[in-house]
Amino acid sequence: MRYRELGRTGLTVSEIGFGAWGLGQGAWVGADDDSAVRALHRALDLGVNLIDTARAYDRSERVVGRALRELPGGGDGVYVATKVGPKIPVSLAPSGLDVMEVFPGAHLREGLETSLRELGRDHVDLLQLHTWEDEWTGRGDWLETVGALKEEGKIRFFGISVKDHQPENVLTVLRTGVLDAVQVIYNIFEQAPSEALLPACAEYGVGVIGRVALDEGALTGSIRTGVTFPEGDWRNWYFRDDRAALVERRVDALLADLGIGVDELPSVALRFALAGQAVSTVIVGMRSLANVERNAAVAETPPLTDGQLTLLAKHRWPKNFYN
What does pTM read for this prediction? 0.96
Average pLDDT over residues 61-83: 95
Tell me the per-residue pLDDT of 207-241, one tens digit each, with 9 for 90 and over: 999 999 999 999 999 999 999 999 999 999 999 99
In terms of Cα–Cα distance, which of 42, 51, 47 is closest to 17? Answer: 51
DSSP-derived secondary structure for 124-179: EEEEEES---GGGTT-SSHHHHHHHHHHTTSEEEEEEEPPTT-TTTTHHHHTTT--
Whole-number Cα distances in Å, 189 to 8, 214, 222, 298, 315: 28, 9, 16, 19, 6
For the stretch 256-287, pLDDT in tens is 999 999 999 999 999 999 999 999 999 999 99
Q: Which of 55, 149, 53 is nearest to 109 (CA)?
A: 149
The pLDDT, as a whole number, for residue 91 is 57
| pLDDT surpasses 70 at 189 | yes
Residue type, 150: K
Q: Which residue, 214, 216, 153, 211, is CA-closest to 181?
A: 211
Give the pLDDT confidence score for residue 89 in this predicted structure.
65
Among 56, 53, 49, 15, CA closest to 36: 53
Residues β-bridged to residue 79: 50
Task: Parse the chain into domains and list their residue ranges.
Answer: 3-216+270-302
Q: Is the pLDDT of residue 95 over 90?
A: no
Are the CB atoms for 236 and 229 separated by under 8 Å?
Answer: yes
For the cut 80, the answer to whether the pLDDT of residue 242 exceeds it is yes
Per-residue confidence band for 105, with pLDDT thresholds at 50, 70 and 90: very high
Q: Rounded CA gap, 304 and 270, in Å?
A: 10
Whose CA is closest to 53, among 64, 40, 66?
Answer: 64
- pLDDT band at residue 46 under the 50/70/90 scheme: very high
Average pLDDT over residues 173-200: 98
Domain topology for 3-216+270-302? TIM Barrel (3.20.20)
Query: β-strand 16-19 against 279-285: which pairing, if any?
Result: parallel
Helix and strand numbers, DSSP H then E, in the chain = 12, 10
Q: At what angle do helices 265-274 and 243-258 cross, to 10 degrees?
A: 80
Residue 25: predicted pLDDT: 87
109 in Cβ contact with 81 (< 8 Å): no
Give the integer Cα–Cα distance in Å for 48 and 16: 6
The answer, yes or no, to whether residue 96 has pLDDT greater than 80, is no
Q: Span 101-107, mean pLDDT?
A: 95
